[in-house]
Chains A and B, each alone.
Chain A
Amino acid sequence: MMRKLKDDVLLCLIYLAAFLAEFLLIGILAYVFVRGFPHISWHFLTTVTSILEGTVGIAGNIVNTIYMVVLTLAIAVPVGIGSAIYLNEYARPGKVVRLIEFTTQTLSGIPSIIFGLFGMVFFGVTLGLGYSILTGALTLSLMVLPLITRNTQEALKAVPESYRNGAVGMGAGKWYMIRTILLPSAMPGIVTGIILAVGRILGESAALLFTAGSGYFLPRSFGGWFHKLVESGGTLTIQLYLSMEKAQYDTAFGIAVVLLGMVLCLNLVTRVMVSRFEMPKYTDAGGR
Chain B
Amino acid sequence: MSQNKISTDKLNLYYGDNHILKDITIGIRAKAVTALIGPSGCGKSTFLKSLNRMNDLIDGVRIEGTVYLDGKDIYGPQVDVTRLRKRVGMVFQQPNPFPMSIYDNIAYGPKVHGVKSKERLDEIVEQSLRQAAVWEEVENQLRKPALGLSGGQKQRLCIARALAVEPEVLLMDEPTSALDPASTLKVEELINRLKRKYTIIIVTHNMQQAVRVSDDTAFFLLGEMVECGTTDRLFARPTDRRTKEYITGKFG
Contact = CB atoms under 8 A, between A and B. Distances in A.
B150 A171 contact: no
B79 interface: no
Contact of B108 (A180, A185, A281): A180
A166 B98 contact: yes
B115 interface: no
B149 interface: yes
B148 interface: yes
Nearest to B145: A279
A261 interface: no
Contacts of A173: 82, 112
B54 A92 contact: no
Given A171-B113, A180-B108, A282-B147, A166 B92 contact: yes
Interface string A63-90: 0000000000000000000000000000
A171 B83 contact: yes
Contacts of A38: none
Give chain A's interface secondary structure class.
loop
A171 B108 CA distance: 10
Interface residues of B, number: 35
Contact of A181 (B98, B149, B161): B98
Nearest to A160: B96
A221 B15 CA distance: 67
Contacts of B90: 165, 169-170
B192 to A, nearest CB: 23
Contacts of A160: 96
A281 B52 contact: no
Interface string A171-211: 11100100011001100000000000000000000000000
B94 A162 contact: yes
Nearest to A165: B92
Interface string A137-170: 0000000000000000000000010110111111
Which residue, B81, B90, B112, has most C-beta atoms of chain A within 10 A?
B112
Nearest to B109: A170
Nearest to A177: B112
Interface in B65-108: 81-86, 89-90, 92, 94, 96-100, 108
B108 A170 contact: yes
Nearest to B59: A92
Contacts of A163: 96, 98-99
Nearest to B111: A180
A92 B57 CA distance: 12
B149 A171 contact: no
A162 B109 contact: no
A188 to B, nearest CB: 11
Contacts of A280: 145
A165 B54 contact: yes
B99 A171 contact: no
19 contacts: A160-B96, A162-B92, A162-B96, A163-B96, A163-B98, A165-B54, A166-B96, A167-B108, A167-B112, A168-B57, A169-B90, A170-B86, A170-B89, A172-B112, A180-B108, A184-B99, A279-B99, A282-B145, A288-B150
Interface of A: 92, 160, 162-163, 165-173, 176, 180-181, 184-185, 279-284, 286-288
